[in-house]
Amino acid sequence: QYLGFNPATLSLTWQAIIIIQEIVALLKAHFVLVLLSTVITHLLRGVSSLSRILSIYNNKSHDKDIQLYRKYGNIVRLAPNLLSIADPAKIKQIYGIGTEFYKSRFYNLSTIYDDEGLVPDTFILTNKLKLYHIDPVTERLLSKLHLQAGEPIEMSSVLKGYAMDTVFAVTFRRDFNYIEKGDILKIYGISETVADYITIFSLHPFRPKSYGSDLANLQQLGQIPWIHKFLLGRPFIARLMFGTGGGDKEMMQLAVSQIESAKQNSSEAMPLNQDKDPSSINDREIMTHAFGNISAGSDTTAIALRSILYHILKDRRVYNKLYDKFRVLEAPVQFTDANKLPYFAAVIQESLRLHPSVGMMLARVVPAGGADLCGFHLAEGTEVGINPWVLHRDREVFPDPDSFRPERWLLEETGDN
């Protein structure tokens, strides 16, 4: 008081100073750890996932990853424990068969549980003849395009419907005519909401009960897992977003109903490896794989179709060249005939190079003992991955990477290049 200071104010001031010092000390300690890793990064990315979350929320994470790669090189920190690798020579080390790098927790999203536990992944569709169920869907698509010739048409939604119908046709040998009727099963809204949630907050897949599930019981992981308990971790919030059924429950019930319908109305077994050996995959496994097809099978297919069509229509030279190759084939063009056209395959590859269906890395975890990548030793437990958007714009692999040039995929001996 003699010096003119209020003791209470002074006490609060010192408390604030101490708190600030503690925060600075923590940041300094973390910054030292970041420096020890010698991986170039922004300070913010070394101590927080905030910038990563914001870029994902704004649908710009793939562009941001490319910018960081071009600025810093083949290894960049995206978050405190997440590194982006852009060296094609490391694909085999990270993703190859027999690699010691194991899948990150994000992959739990595709792990299905039910009352009996983990469902083994024995689904293999080996018989290409089963794809003939797609033919009626393709004919319906072409008919729609012919009827609307000369008129504007929203191809994005049409191709989305086509992808959904083909997924149903392959899975259940029937479809719901999404091409003409749109989202009559209300799957789009559910899948898009869940996809957005997974991308930002991430979920652990469910443990369904009686072929159903409860989004409120999902375990957490991902970009900001702690926030899950305040969102879908609350039954009330889950009901607000998806209603009383939970969203994924409806899709699971749809899968079950279609399987039962196929068994009752078709003399053929379900097209999931039961034809010759019914014991090779049981009903429980069929149910979970069918659910996976419904909930995730159409999006990536639709994205690929959109990219291919967009780039063909945008480039008159490529369009004319493809037209000349297809016009000599009998319509409708069969898969076996189209598959013999190297230039068509190159167009598909180049379209998917410029616009991959997945815009984020599929992370792996550095195994015990650590690993050497791109000149750095990474500690075990570090998550690493390769974003296809970044890799596909490697100027050393793909000169003029932002150009659509299918010829880059063709060997000289094909006569096309």
Which tens digits make up the pLDDT trace of 244-280?
A: 444 455 555 666 666 666 655 443 445 444 555 566 6
Percent of all residues in the chain with a pLDDT value above 70, rounded to a whole number: 55
pLDDT higher than 60, residue 148: yes
Q: Are 291 and 298 in contact (CB under 8 A)?
A: no
pLDDT band at 97 (very low <50, low <70, confident <90, very high): confident
SS3 content of the chain, % helix, strand, coil (to 5): 55, 5, 35
pLDDT higher than 90, residue 81: no
User: Where along the chain do its domains lie?
Assistant: 1-37, 122-314
Q: Stretch 353-382: mean pLDDT, rounded?
A: 90
pLDDT band at 137 (very low <50, low <70, confident <90, very high): very high
From residue 417, give the alpha-carbon distance in Å to each of 96, 141, 256, 321, 354: 30, 33, 50, 13, 20
pLDDT at site 99: 87
pLDDT at site 22: 54
pLDDT higher than 90, residue 352: yes
Highest mean pLDDT among 174-178, 283-287, 295-299, 335-339: 335-339
Question: Who has greater pLDDT, 208 or 238?
Answer: 238
pLDDT band at 205 (very low <50, low <70, confident <90, very high): very low
Report the DSSP beta bridge partners of residue 77.
83
pLDDT at site 4: 43
pLDDT higher than 80, residue 303: yes
pLDDT at site 331: 81
pLDDT higher than 70, residue 166: yes
Separation of alpha carbons 72 and 376, rounded Å: 14
Average pLDDT, the chain: 73
Q: Stretch 53-76: mean pLDDT, rounded?
A: 86
Q: In what helix (H) or strand (E) does residue 169 lie, and over which residues does it extend? A: helix 155-172
Q: Provide the residue count of the chain.
A: 417
Question: Who has greater pLDDT, 207 or 381?
Answer: 381
CA 54 to chain centre: 18
pLDDT at site 313: 95
Q: Stretch 121-148: mean pLDDT, rounded?
A: 74
Helix 187-200, helix 50-57: angle, nearest 10: 160
In the chain, what's the furthest Cα-to-Cα distance?
101
Separation of alpha carbons 364 and 192, rounded Å: 25
Separation of alpha carbons 275 and 270, rounded Å: 7
pLDDT at site 183: 81
pLDDT at site 41: 53
